[in-house]
Amino acid sequence: MQLRRDDAVHSAHVVAAADAEGVEANARLTSSVAVLLLILLAAEGLTLPAIHALLRPHVYIGFALIPPVALKVGSTLYRFTRYYMRAPAYWQKGPPPPLLRILGPVVVLATVLLLASGVALLFFTRTWQQRMLTLHKASFILWFGAMTVHVVAHIIETMQLGPRDWLPQKTGSVPLAAGRRWLIAVSVLTGALLGAWGLGHIGGWVFRA
């Protein structure tokens, strides 16, 4: 009987440890993608002051952002799903502060509107292009405000966790670091191909500032 009890306790500890590693793995993936997105967004921002001259890089980076954004949204939604399903390790970690919980859906919605309206500009007719351009500009204003708060709130955690899957002395502490690196690499490659595909359709964009 005592042996069975010890086995049960041991099994519970193993499960708890695995769950804790899952939380850390999810945080590392989210932070790694966030670092990538900060780099891409900074590059995209540099095209804005000379948007007419740098339209092609602007479009390319905009399309290249889509897969990493999808990966980050997916990892974040996974964490929240696990939390609201009361998975012990995620429940113990707890949710973000109330302001960030409210801001999260705003960031996601604004990001989707910003990227979707940008893509739509390449394919819609002239009448709809003007409407999409208005939506693109309006969603950028909303996105910029919400994202600024989001980045400031998470920047320290992102800089701490983001590099861990890429540093040799840190990768072994949480399993599947190579898998997470591959996910990010695939998102970058997919984004590069998507950007090239977008450039092939840039002739359909009648840009009106």
Q: What is the pLDDT of residues 117-168, one digit of tens each?
A: 999 998 887 788 889 999 999 999 999 999 999 999 999 999 999 998 998 7
Q: What is the structure's pLDDT at 7?
A: 38
Beta-carbon contacts of 171 under 8 Å, excluding residues fewer than 6 positions away, are 164, 165, 177, 178
Give me the pLDDT at residue 203, please: 75
- Closest-CA residue to 75 (of 64, 67, 63, 87): 67
Q: What per-residue confidence (pLDDT) applies to 175?
A: 82
Provide the CB-side half-sphere exposure for 109 (13 A, CA).
Answer: 9
pLDDT digits (tens, 9 = 90+) for 81-96: 999 898 899 888 888 8
3-state SS assignment for residue 94: coil
Q: Give the Cα separation of 105 and 168 in Å (integer).
A: 35
**Residue 1, pLDDT score:** 56
55 compared with 12, residue with greater pLDDT: 55
Is the confidence at residue 6, as pLDDT, over 60? no
Confidence category of residue 208, pLDDT binned at 50, 70, 90: very low
Predicted model pTM: 0.85
Contact 105, 77 (CB under 8 A): no
Distance CA 16, CA 19 (A): 5
Instruction: Identify which has the larger pLDDT, 10 or 128.
Output: 128
Average pLDDT in the 16-28 region? 76
Q: Specify the range with the lowest mean pLDDT, choosing from 35-39, 55-59, 201-205.
A: 201-205
